């Protein structure tokens, strides 16, 4: 039986106090709806049906790269009404897994257990025990221990409200049941809405067993209605990632002060200090050290590289045994070879720097190709922009660039050449030559500086 996923994502999320649709708020740098869809892709290859409503144009525009089926819910009249909008896209012969766009931490293992239960009985319901079940629909059971109904909190009496087992809203069941039951839903309840949970009572009436599956943890079934709840889930999610990294052999000097907003792959004996932020796809090879307060995005760092405090690295490749920082910025399209040093207050953009070269102090290297074993002195600038176009600076192997040099691109400094401190280079420098363009020093005796009149 084909498994189809239906994601309910039409809620406005009034308590978020935001113009952004609730499911578009980010968890670990990615909208909650994408977490749900990524998990769904791991249990079925069929395109999900997304029920959208408030802010739907924003949601649809964001998800254009995915293969999805869209169903609009123009009025938010309850979960049963939301599923009704999706039914035309859900063939009666399939099995439907109903998920929520604001419940982002469900695990693949939990969903697979739920689907297995639904395939066996025809109806699987995900439940969880909560220490404080206030606000949740309670699971009631018959004398045999089987689920008999779900009673929403507002409709529950005092005897039902003491029950700790609650409905998560997540269920898997045969589509033919929904096609039969959804048209029968009524709004005779405290909220005046069409409750999807009423399908449980209909199943019991027809003698269909509702198989319960307990969630692995409370955290994975928590939904988000406020920014406080979103922040709470963020910390839970980040701690889970941190724990997994440490099991793999990564040293986190404080697991509560590292954030991964994407995919972080680490080799052996990687050490990450406090307040590190990783975005996109980042790969750290064996023995990499990341100092405190660093931001690394979509980059690869080679074996033994050390990134010192307060560095930003974006869309770059850093070779083995590199040394970056402190206070360095490595910008996109930068490729550093082995044993390259990028020091404090150095910015590198769209440049290649070959093995053994050093740019250690207060420099800007942009649109440049630097060869092997080059030393770039403090205060050096590649003047790559003429106001309209970018131009390239080439510094060949073994060149020495003195401090406070301006290299006005396009320009080439030949192999083994030396540029004296304070030089402005506007023409190519031949290999092995020394070039100096600074003004000859003069000494004037008896000079008096201007003074203000009293």
> What percentage of the chain has pLDDT greater than the value 70?
100
pLDDT reported for residue 1: 85
Longest CA span, the chain? 110
**108-121 and 32-41 are packed helices; what angle lies between their axes, rounded to 10 degrees?**
60
Tell me which of 221, 250, 277 is where a domain ends. 221
Task: Give the pLDDT confidence of 99-129 residue by residue, as tens digits.
Answer: 999 999 999 999 999 999 999 999 999 999 9
- pLDDT of residue 66 exceeding 90, the answer is yes
Q: Band of the pLDDT at 61, cuts 50, 70, 90? A: very high
Of 62, 153, 179, 361, the active-site residue reads 361
pLDDT reported for residue 152: 87
Indicate whether 208 and 351 sit together in one domain: no
Q: Band of the pLDDT at 454, cuts 50, 70, 90? A: confident
Residue 442 lies in a domain: no
pLDDT reported for residue 99: 98
| Mean pLDDT of all residues in 273-297 | 98
Whether the upstream peptide bond of residue 179 has omega within 30° of 0, thus cis, is no
CATH of the domain at 139: 3.90.550.10
Domain count, the chain: 2
- pLDDT of residue 453 exceeding 90, the answer is no
317 is catalytic: no
Q: What is the rounded distance in angstroms from the CA atom of residue 77 to the CA atom of residue 194?
A: 6
Tell me which of 221, 252, 280 is where a domain ends. 221
pTM across the whole model: 0.91
> What percentage of the chain has pLDDT greater than the value 90?
90
Task: Give the pLDDT confidence of 376-385 residue by residue, as tens digits.
Answer: 999 999 999 9
Indicate whether 284 and 331 sit together in one domain: yes
pLDDT reported for residue 54: 83
- pLDDT of residue 147 exceeding 90, the answer is yes
Q: Which domain holds residue 261?
A: 227-435
CATH of the domain at 252: 2.160.10.10
Mean pLDDT over the full length of the chain:
95
- pLDDT of residue 191 exceeding 90, the answer is no
pLDDT reported for residue 279: 98
Which residue's structure tokens are 């221990």?
Answer: 145
Report yes or no: 237 and 105 within 8 Å, Cβ to Cβ.
Answer: yes
């Amino acid at each position: 039986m084909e498994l189809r996923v239906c994601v309910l994502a039409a809620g406005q999320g009034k308590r978020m106090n935001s113009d952004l649709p609730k499911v578009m708020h980010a968890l670990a740098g990615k909208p909650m709806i994408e977490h749900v869809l990524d998990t769904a892709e791991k249990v079925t290859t069929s395109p999900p049906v997304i029920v959208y409503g408030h802010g739907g144009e924003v949601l649809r525009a964001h998800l254009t790269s995915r293969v999805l089926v869209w169903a609009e819910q123009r009025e938010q009249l309850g979960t049963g009404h939301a599923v009704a909008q999706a039914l035309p896209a859900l063939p009666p012969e399939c099995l439907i897994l109903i998920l929520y766009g604001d419940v982002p931490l469900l695990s693949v293992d939990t969903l697979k257990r739920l689907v297995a239960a639904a395939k066996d009985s025809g109806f699987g319901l995900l439940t969880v025990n909560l220490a404080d079940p206030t606000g949740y629909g309670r699971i009631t059971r018959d004398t045999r221990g089987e689920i008999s109904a779900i009673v929403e909190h507002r409709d529950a009496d005092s005897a039902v409200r003491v029950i700790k087992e609650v409905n998560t809203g997540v269920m898997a069941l045969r589509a033919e049941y929904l096609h039969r039951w959804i048209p029968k839903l009524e709004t005779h309840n405290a909220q005046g809405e069409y409750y999807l949970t009423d399908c449980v009572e209909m199943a019991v009436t027809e003698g269909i067993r509702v198989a319960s599956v307990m969630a692995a943890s409370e955290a994975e079934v928590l939904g988000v209605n406020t920014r406080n709840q979103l922040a709470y889930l963020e910390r839970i999610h980040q701690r889970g990632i941190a724990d997994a990294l440490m099991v793999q052999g990564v040293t986190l000097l404080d697991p509560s002060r590292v954030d991964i907003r994407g995919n972080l792959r680490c080799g052996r004996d990687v050490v990450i200090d406090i307040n590190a932020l990783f975005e996109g796809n980042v790969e750290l090879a064996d023995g990499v050290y990341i100092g405190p307060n660093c931001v690394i995005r979509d980059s690869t760092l080679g074996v033994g590289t050390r990134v010192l405090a307060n560095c930003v690295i974006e869309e770059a490749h850093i070779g083995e045994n590199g040394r970056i920082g402190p206070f360095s910025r490595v910008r996109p399209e930068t490729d550093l070879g082995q044993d390259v040093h990028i020091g404090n207050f150095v910015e590198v953009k769209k440049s290649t720097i070959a093995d053994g070269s050093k740019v250690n102090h207060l420099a800007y290297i942009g649109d440049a190709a630097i060869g092997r074993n080059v030393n770039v002195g403090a205060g050096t600038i590649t003047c790559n922009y003429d106001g309209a176009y970018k131009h390239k600076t080439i510094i060949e192997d073994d060149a020495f660039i003195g401090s406070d040099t301006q290299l006005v691109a396009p320009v080439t400094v030949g192999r083994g050449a030396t540029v004296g401190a304070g030089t402005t280079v506007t023409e190519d420098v031949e290999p092995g030559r020394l070039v100096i363009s600074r003004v000859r020093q003069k000494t004037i005796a008896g000079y008096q500086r201007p003074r203000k009149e009293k």
